Amino acid sequence: MVSGGGMSGEGVGEPEVVAAAGAAVAVEEAVAPAPARELVVGYALTSKKAKSFLQPKLRGLARKKGILFVAIDQKRPLSDQGPFDIVLHKLTGREWRKLLEDYRETHPEVTVLDPPCAIEHLLNRQSMLQEVSELDLSDCHGRVGVPKQLFVNTDPSSIPAAVMRAGLSLPLVAKPLVAKSHELSLAYDPISLTKLEPPLVLQEFVNHGGVLFKVYIVGDAIRVVRRFSLPNVDEGDLSNNAGVFRFPRVSCASASADDADLDPHVAELPPRPLLEILAKELRRRLGLRLFNIDMIREHGTRDRFYVIDMNYFPGYGKMPGYEHVFTDFLLGLVKKEYRRRPSYSSCEG
């Protein structure tokens, strides 16, 4: 790890340069913490994720700042590898989870980003937005909520009645319960609802001018980008469309809307103070440090926002300047641990 002593990640060679500057500095050196060493970050990611995240610009900057990324072999006990200061991961499966939980217990000195029990909330679309819906952000430079939604795991023929009872209005977005599945569809009429395949979350479609805000969280840092999204649905669409419309992933990289010529009312980013409080609350309530929030602004309003999706360890490689944000975050974690500040290492409480 890079030790304290006022260094802010400039590079591991710095203490020697300072010591050479004169005797007065040498006295300070004598009481300074142990010499800096590399911060070792073990990562357990799919090969797709490793490629998109560990780009040469991140590896290069990390090396300069004294951070070394080391691949974890999932098949071997973690204790036989490393030693690590930090473990970054996005793998699924019960075996991996057990391995990681055991490792956390036997190696409390290692920061695991993030604890598997905390990530669990975001793996299921029924639980993922629960914390957002419980927040009261009615007077924070805007309002944030969750579209009306309903979890269905019944016989598809009973869906229209369940939707009526719950008071949801058409059209509805049908989302697979499992968050890593992206087979979404839009249902305009009650008959289409019977063609859906539970388990599902049905969410009211909110017109938002075809632009979505991807809010990336990396510890305390927040970055927002615009992405193209589904266009508004009008009364004509509702009466002329029948059937289930399946749509592929729309919030992908090629759909960045940051340079597009957009209606300024649609393009205006959510207010910073609103994002700050939202991110702070969710970090605390979920016990997560690496996630993103997909947010839309209700069309025709200035300050009515909805969170429609959250993802653990999203595609940070597409976040502008992510290499700086990430390396600063990793170094900052070490300083926090060094000062023995309370960390988020537990899911309890």
Ligand X SMILES: Nc1ncnc2c1ncn2[C@@H]1O[C@H](COP(=O)(O)OP(=O)(O)O)[C@@H](O)[C@H]1O
Residues within window 223-282 making contact with ligand X, judged by CB under 6 A: 229-230, 249-251
131 lies in the site for ligand X, by CB under 6 A: no
Closest CA to 187 of 206, 202, 165: 202
* 301 and 203 Cβ atoms separated by less than 8 Å: no
CA–CA gap between residue 207 and residue 296 (Å, rounded): 9
Min CB(256)–Mg ion separation in Å: 14
Min CB(285)–ligand X separation in Å: 20
Give the rounded distance of the alpha carbon of 183 from its chain centre. Answer: 20
Helices (H), 217-271: 235-240, 264-267
Residue 288 burial by Cβ neighbours in a 10 Å radius (0-12, 13-18, 19+): buried
Sign for the pseudo-dihedral over CA of 220, 294, 345, 96: negative
| Contact of residue 48 among ligand 4IP, Mg ion, ligand X, none (CB under 5-8 Å per partner type) | ligand 4IP
SS3 132: helix
Min CB(291)–Mg ion separation in Å: 10
Closest CA to 270 of 212, 323, 322: 212
Q: Which is nearer to Mg ion, 204 or 294 (CB)?
A: 294
Min CB(205)–ligand 4IP separation in Å: 16
Q: Which stretch binds Mg ion (CB under 5 A): 33-41, 82-90, 288-296, 327-335?
A: 288-296
309 lies in the site for Mg ion, by CB under 5 A: yes
- Summarize as ranges the residues that interact with ligand 4IP (CB under 6 A): 48-49, 52, 90, 179-180, 249, 251, 253, 294, 309, 311, 314-315, 317
Figure out which of the listed residues 206, 222, 279, 333 binds ligand X, where binding follows CB under 6 A.
Answer: 206
Q: What are phi and psi of 66, to 5 degrees?
A: 85, 30
Q: Which residues bind ligand X (CB under 6 A)?
A: 147, 173, 175, 179, 182, 184, 203, 205-206, 208, 212, 229-230, 249-251, 294, 308-309
